Amino acid sequence: MNNKWRYFIVMLLGVVMNEGLSNLAENYPVWLDVTGTAMVALVLEPAAGLIVGLINNFYIALFEYGQTTLIYYCVSAAVAVIAGNVVRNREGKITVKGVLFAIVLVIIVSTILSSALTIWQSGGISNAAFEQVKFNSFVAKGMHPYMACILTTLIVKIYDTIATAVIVGIVYIILPKKLKYDLQ
Amino acid sequence: MRQVIYSIIKKTDSSDNNINKLYDYFICLVAFVSIIPLMFKRELSYFLLIDKVTVYILFADYVFRWMTYDMKLKKGNLSFIIYPVTPYALIDLLSLLPSLGMVNQSFRVLRMLRIFKILSYSKSFNYILHAFEKEKNTLYSVLVLALGYIFVSALIMFSYEPDTFSDFFAALYWATTALTTVGYGDVYPKTDIGRLISMISSLFGIAVIALPAGIITASFVDEINEEKEEAAANRDNNDGSDKGEPVIDRIVEKRMEADKDE
């Protein structure tokens, strides 16, 4: 298969995964909106993941939450960079150590970025219903809104990153070899 | 993939392809269209649409430039850390913040900074930037001198005519408008001594205030001449003959002489 076609198909699959899974996860405390981004970064390269993340953020900004959510692209970008650079070792092989390190890194980085942006934009109140419920319960217990935002984001990111890692792992296993590797 | 993106977004020089030039024109057009809503008092519905569409494109451009900056800077992964703090990247980000809801709408004037997107493609603008860069130490000295002069003038005037000025800030305002020859005329000296001070300080003040203009103009002209000489040398070299060598020698000789003079 031509490498250009391989890139096109895997990136298209990434976009579909991002949009499809994030819509499916609407009623659950996970986002799943970076699954495709992580998968593309892992299979192809971080730059391809960055493009898929950009398309995903445009879609969300256009049809769901408005242009103010565009800045959350930095979370997708961080996931693409981590998935594309940390999961594989120097020989290019995927290792358990790499996967675990990437999961922890994504949780930490995306929590910091997401909560900082939410606090900056809206004082800590998220647009997502499931985050609002958790946030309100923390605030009702007397927690400072900023702390409540950070804790809510951390909990959701732990669920989200683990679910994303499992899905990406499954997709990677079932992905045909001609899409996984440049066989030319 | 990054190579392809870079070949499209990098700023055009004579050897580049049409897609590259088209992209440059497109980004300039988008940057210009994005500031049109600022020219109107009323917020019309299609202005919101313009803002939405243009901010997507400019945001994508920002991301593309960031992810390919290592190819321009050639400093490996360090380039990705450097990019966000480069002047153009900072200006780009600042200009996008109001549309991304990251700053209060009273800062929407920051969108005006998108004009720098267009200016960054202008050779003349880059000459001026180089001129500022080259003369930054001289300009800094002149700035300190000018500020000091304004401060002293204001202080002298304030001590002679305390009733004319509501506070020292009003005296500073008078000194700045008078010495830059703007002179709104809303604050002016009323006593003879005050007028005499004003006359003397204005005469010297013009010389101090006009200094930076001369420095920048001279440096700007130097930049243009250097560019012309280099272009001529390149043209001669590209002819495939030895005609280029004397021109290069002349430039080198000229620069060595200039260094000696310094």
pLDDT at B262 over 60: no
Name the interface residues of B facing A (CB cutoff 8 Å): 1-2, 5, 51-52, 55-56, 59-60, 63, 67, 99-102
Cβ distance B52 to A67 less than 8 Å, yes or no, reads yes
Of B89, B121, B153, which residue is a domain's last?
A: B121
Domain residues for B177? 134-261
Cβ distance B101 to A67 less than 8 Å, yes or no, reads yes
| Domain presence at residue B159 | yes
A84-122, pLDDT tens digit by residue?
A: 888 888 888 888 999 999 999 999 999 999 999 889 888
List domains and CATH numbers for chain A: 3-176 (1.10.1760.20)
Q: Phi then psi for B98, rounded to 5 degrees?
A: -60, -40
The alpha carbon of residue A21 is apart from the nearest alpha carbon of chain B, in Å, by: 23
Contacts of B2 in chain A (CB under 8 A): 47
Does residue B102 share a domain with residue B139? no
Q: Which of A1-5, A79-83, A168-172, B223-227 has the lowest mean pLDDT?
A: A1-5
Does residue B238 share a domain with residue B194? yes
Does residue B250 share a domain with residue B138? yes
Does residue B247 share a domain with residue B199? yes
Q: Which of A88-92, B33-37, B47-51, B256-260 has the lowest mean pLDDT?
A: B256-260
Does residue B167 share a domain with residue B214? yes
Q: Enter the DSSP assignment of A144.
A: -
CATH code assigned at B210:
1.10.287.70
Does residue B100 share a domain with residue B37? yes
Cβ distance B99 to A67 less than 8 Å, yes or no, reads yes
Contacts of B203 (CB under 8 A, 6+ apart): none
Cβ distance B100 to A67 less than 8 Å, yes or no, reads yes
pLDDT at A7 over 80: yes
The alpha carbon of residue B72 is apart from the nearest alpha carbon of chain A, in Å, by: 16
Structure confidence at residue A17 (pLDDT): 93
Does residue B223 share a domain with residue B104? no
Highest mean predicted confidence (pLDDT) among A28-32, A55-59, A139-143, A164-168:
A164-168
Q: Is B51 exposed, middle or buried (0-12, 13-18, 19+ CB in 10 A)?
A: buried
Cβ distance B100 to A58 less than 8 Å, yes or no, reads no
Distance of CA B101 to the CA centre of its chain: 26
Question: b vs e for B198-237, b when ≥16 Cβ sit within 10 Å of the residue's Cβ?
Answer: beebbeebeebbebbeebbeebbebbeeeeebeeebeebe
Q: First and final CA of chain A: distance in angstroms?
A: 7
In the three-class reduction of DSSP (H, G, I as helix; E, B as strand; rest coil), residue B50 is classed as helix
Structure confidence at residue B239 (pLDDT): 64
Q: Which of A34-43, B107-116, B156-165 has the lowest mean pLDDT?
A: B107-116
Of B77, B94, B121, which residue is a domain's last?
A: B121
| Domain presence at residue B139 | yes
Of B121, B153, B179, which residue is a domain's last?
A: B121
Among residues of chain B, what percentage have pLDDT more than 70?
Answer: 88
| Domain presence at residue B129 | no
Does residue B158 share a domain with residue B39? no
| Domain presence at residue B126 | no
How many contacts does A have with B, using Cβ atoms within 8 A? Answer: 42
8 A C-beta contact, residue A34 and residue A50? no
Q: Phi then psi for A32, rounded to 5 degrees?
A: 55, 25
Domain count, chain B: 2
Does residue B116 share a domain with residue B179? no
A116 touches chain B (CB under 8 A): no
Cβ distance A47 to B55 less than 8 Å, yes or no, reads no
Contacts of A47 in chain B (CB under 8 A): 1-2, 5, 67
Local confidence band at B13 (pLDDT 50, 70, 90 cut-offs): low
Query: Mutation test of the interface with chain B: which of A70, A75, A85, choosing the one with the most B Cβ atoms within 10 A?
Result: A70
pLDDT at B257 over 70: no
Q: Indicate whether this complex's ipTM tops 0.90.
A: no
| Domain presence at residue B145 | yes
8 A C-beta contact, residue B127 and residue B137? no
pLDDT at B248 over 80: no
Cβ distance B1 to A47 less than 8 Å, yes or no, reads yes
Q: Which two tokens stand for residue B66?
A: 């960031």
Tell me the C-alpha distance between B243 and B104, whole Å.
60
Arithmetic mean of pLDDT over chain B: 83
Name the residue among A50, A71, A73 with its Cβ closest to that of B102: A71
**Beta-carbon count within 10 A of B77 CB:** 9
Structure confidence at residue A37 (pLDDT): 94
**Beta-carbon count within 10 A of A124 CB:** 22
Cβ distance A73 to B59 less than 8 Å, yes or no, reads yes
Does residue B46 share a domain with residue B115? yes
User: Any alpha helices (H) in chain A, and if so which ranges?
Assistant: 3-24, 35-43, 46-60, 73-85, 96-122, 129-140, 145-174, 177-180
Does residue B138 share a domain with residue B30? no
| Domain presence at residue B190 | yes
| Domain presence at residue B49 | yes
| Domain presence at residue B128 | no
Name the residue among B5, B56, B100 with its Cβ closest to that of A58: B56
In the three-class reduction of DSSP (H, G, I as helix; E, B as strand; rest coil), residue A1 is classed as coil
**Beta-carbon count within 10 A of A25 CB:** 18
Does residue B101 share a domain with residue B147? no
A52 touches chain B (CB under 8 A): no
